[in-house]
A = this chain, B = another copy of it.
Amino acid sequence: MTEIQASGAAHDSLRAVQWLGDRLHLLDQRKLPFEELWVDCRSASEVALAIRDLVVRGAPAIGIAAAWGVVLAAQRGDDLQKTMATLRAARPTAVNLMAALDRMHASVESDVDAAALASVARSIQDEDLAANLAMGAMGAALIQSDSGVLTHCNTGSLATSGFGTALGVIRAGYASGNIVRVYADETRPWLQGARLTMWELQRDGIPATLIADSAASHLMKSGKVQWVIVGADRIAANGDTANKIGTYQLAIAAKHHGVKFMVVAPSTTVDLATPTGDAIEIELRNPDELLGYAGQRTVAEGAQAWNPVFDVTPHELIDVLVTERGVITQPDAAALRAVFGPDAH
């Protein structure tokens, strides 16, 4: 694994997706923070199930897990085309999953040797970590001293190969001394902020305060946060960004209060084939996720619920997009084409 040297590395102690040579070792994110249970996947269909059931989650992490799923299929002699179709269907919104599988697919065409495929999967994983460290440094450089920041969902080591995207910027910004406190949205219904981000931040000694999702605007009005920093599951060609449900609402509130809004994601999240956010498929999950928690029902029987788990933030509400290729301020179609288009250098 890539050696971690970037600023903020002291505040990054977790690797939730681990390849053990014949199996994929996943920290079960459904059980955190109370049980650190690891799940071993020995086939691609087990990996697909782990992605669908949120054992592993976070756009970069599911891409990496899917890549290792293809390696497992090659080791077992499974049909690789069918395997990739199964993995691709596990979750619809994050494009990193598709990008990782496209890269594995290109390798499959030239070589179906499991060891060769493993070296591609290893590259995907290592490059993700390197991208996160680079993004952390670039994003943190934008943050003035004595800043509070607000983040949503979990974009940390649990959601990536390590360090994190938005949470990587926060780790680096805390290490540099400019970020003094992190506010984490609870992130209903799955509580990624409450369960996962708070746990990561506490574990790494970064001062963190949990808030209800609906307290974000009241927090912004109080002047306690200067930046909202979030990840992304897919970035359309015009800069519109799909991310965890609630991100759009934060962006509207940030604009209203003059709080800056930063999206941090590896370039594999950019999907030039999707022209605008309107074309991004938004995953609807089981309404039961909203009707209770941890098996305990909170809503009367027979109730209906609507459970979209992503929304789209239009690029007009995004001040800064950070990828490992650099910082784009006021992202739009022209700016993205210049950095990610066919003629980009």
Contact with A217, one of B195, B248, B305 (Cβ below 8 angstroms): B248
Asked whether A210 is an interface residue with its Cβ less than 8 Å from the other chain, the reply is yes
Residue interface bits A190-232, CB-to-B below 8 A is 1, else 0: 0100110011001000011111111111110100000000000
Question: Is A266 in the interface zone, CB < 8 Å from B?
Answer: no
**At the interface, yes or no: A296 with Cβ under 8 Å from chain B?**
yes
Question: Is A305 within 8 A of B199, CB to CB?
Answer: no
Chain B nearest CB from A275 CB (Å) reads 18
Interface set, chain A 161-215, CB cutoff 8 A to B: 183, 185-189, 191, 194-195, 198-199, 202, 207-215
Stretch at the interface among A45-53, A80-88, A116-124, A306-314: A306-314
Stretch in contact with the other chain, from A14-22, A135-143, A287-295, A335-343: A287-295
Please, could you name 5 A-B residue pairs with CB atoms under 8 Å apart, sorted by A? A188-B213, A208-B303, A212-B213, A212-B246, A252-B252
Please name the 6 residue pairs, one residue from A and one from B, whose CB atoms are nearest each other, closest first: A214-B246, A217-B249, A33-B300, A218-B311, A210-B305, A293-B293
- Extra contacts, 9 of them, besides A188-B188, A210-B299, A296-B296 (Cβ < 8 A), are A209-B306, A211-B290, A211-B305, A212-B245, A214-B214, A215-B308, A216-B249, A217-B252, A292-B294
**Residues of A near any B CB (own CB < 8 A):** 33-34, 183, 185-189, 191, 194-195, 198-199, 202, 207-219, 221, 245-246, 248-249, 252-253, 256, 282, 287, 290-300, 302-308, 311-312
